[in-house]
Amino acid sequence: MTILPLLAQLGRVNPQSGNGLAPHWGWYVILYFFLGGLSAGSYFIATMLALTGDSRDRETVRLGYMLAFPLVVACGILLVIDLGVPLRFWHMLIQSERPPLPIFKWWSPMSLGSWVLMAFSLFSFVSFVGVLVETGRVRWSPAVRLDRWARSTPRPLAVSWAVVGTFFGFFLAGYTGVLLTGTSIAVWHNARLLGGIFLASAASTSYALLILLLLRRGRTHAEAPVAKLASADKMMIVLELLLLALMLIVLGGVARPFIRGGFGVVFWLGVVVLGLLVPLALHLIPRLRWDARRRTVVASMCVLVGGLILRFVIVMAPQWPSVRLWAL
């Protein structure tokens, strides 16, 4: 059984829908997109900091790796549930006529995304276990010996492993936008920059989440690990703003589902103002009456809420009213 007939049977897409797929997506997919971005972004940030070798960032590295694997597991669960018949998820990975032979279609976003999710899960799991061993939470001797061997490998090999894992993370964060462009819905099909926007949003929301967790652990906003993340988050917010503006310009009138009506209000106020402009202002304007720590906390929370609202508007606006706002 191939991917499209399977999904058609499960009631998720229609293979006869012109030049793409006609999805029926709700909150399972929205949360999958959001959590997938957080997972990939956390892994990327942790890996980049680990490669720089700054000992002050070690706590951030551990946090990033501790987040990536549980979040990608949650993504897998959401994806399986969204299929409608969860027990048939294996059909997206294994040929039903000739098990256990794998099925891989590089031209199919569904097939490619399933394999990327599996690959990134492997890399994030290894890093997750490594942190558990490093912090003494896992003392099983085989795991400890394997972790010791991994840390003693030549640096080029370790860097190569990190680069490959980061590649799969990037793919997971960005392919969701590419998946949307493969459908028959005009605004999605023409929004070629969605992959880049989702990548920038994944990085920004991950920086924000790590900042909040570090502050909760007693770090101050002025310490190097937090300040470094906040600085990077500012750049990602600016990049996301530029990509959004460029996408809307390119789409022209096709962008109406995003920027007009009720969804337009949510987009401009929830995504642009709350999720991007407010945190950018809080990062850049130090003369506000709030103390610096409070500004950092509020800015990070706004980024996270805005990132979720972005995916809500992108997914739901073109489907309304055929898909209800609260549809799973």
28/80 Cα distance (integer angstroms): 10
DSSP β-bridge partners for residue 183: 21
| pLDDT above 90 as % of the chain | 55
Q: What is the CATH number of the domain that holds 195?
A: 1.20.1630.10
Q: What pLDDT is recorded for position 292?
A: 83
Q: Is 245 inside any structural domain?
A: yes
Residues 147, 130 contacting (CB under 8 angstroms): yes
pLDDT digits (tens, 9 = 90+) for 308-322: 999 999 999 999 988
Give the CA diameter of the chain: 66
Q: Which residue reads 């703003």 in tokens?
A: 241
pLDDT, residue 327, reads 86
Determine the residue type at 26: G
- Work out how many domains the chain is built from and give that number: 1
The pLDDT assigned to 259 comes to 94
Q: What is the pLDDT of residue 154?
A: 87
Residue 328 resides in a domain: no
Is residue 120, in this structure, part of any structural domain at all? Answer: yes
Residue whose C-alpha is closest to residue 42's, from 78, 74, 20: 74
pLDDT of residue 101: 63
Quick check: 23 and 17 in contact, CB under 8 A? Answer: no
What's the CA gap between 304 and 123, in Å, rounded?
25
pLDDT at 15: 36
**Within a domain: residue 97?**
yes
- Give the number of other CB atoms < 10 A from CB of residue 98: 9
Please give the residue range of the domain that contains residue 143: 3-319
Letter for the amino acid at 216? R
As a whole number, mean pLDDT of residues 169-190 equals 84
Residue 83 lies in a domain: yes
Q: Which residues pair with 6 in a beta bridge?
A: none
Assigned domain for 325 exists: no
Give Cα 95 to chain centroid, integer Å: 28
Confidence class for position 7, pLDDT limits 50, 70, 90: very low
Both tokens of 43, joined, read 């892994």
pLDDT tens, residue by residue, 235-294: 999 999 999 999 999 999 999 999 999 999 999 999 999 999 999 999 887 666 678 888
Mean pLDDT of the chain, nearest integer: 85
Tell me, yes or no, whether 326 lies in a domain.
Answer: no
Q: Domain for residue 243, yes or no?
A: yes
Contacts of 60 (CB under 8 A, 6+ apart): 45, 46, 49, 210, 214, 225, 229
Is 0.75 surpassed by the pTM of this model?
A: yes
Residue 130 has pLDDT above 80, yes or no: yes
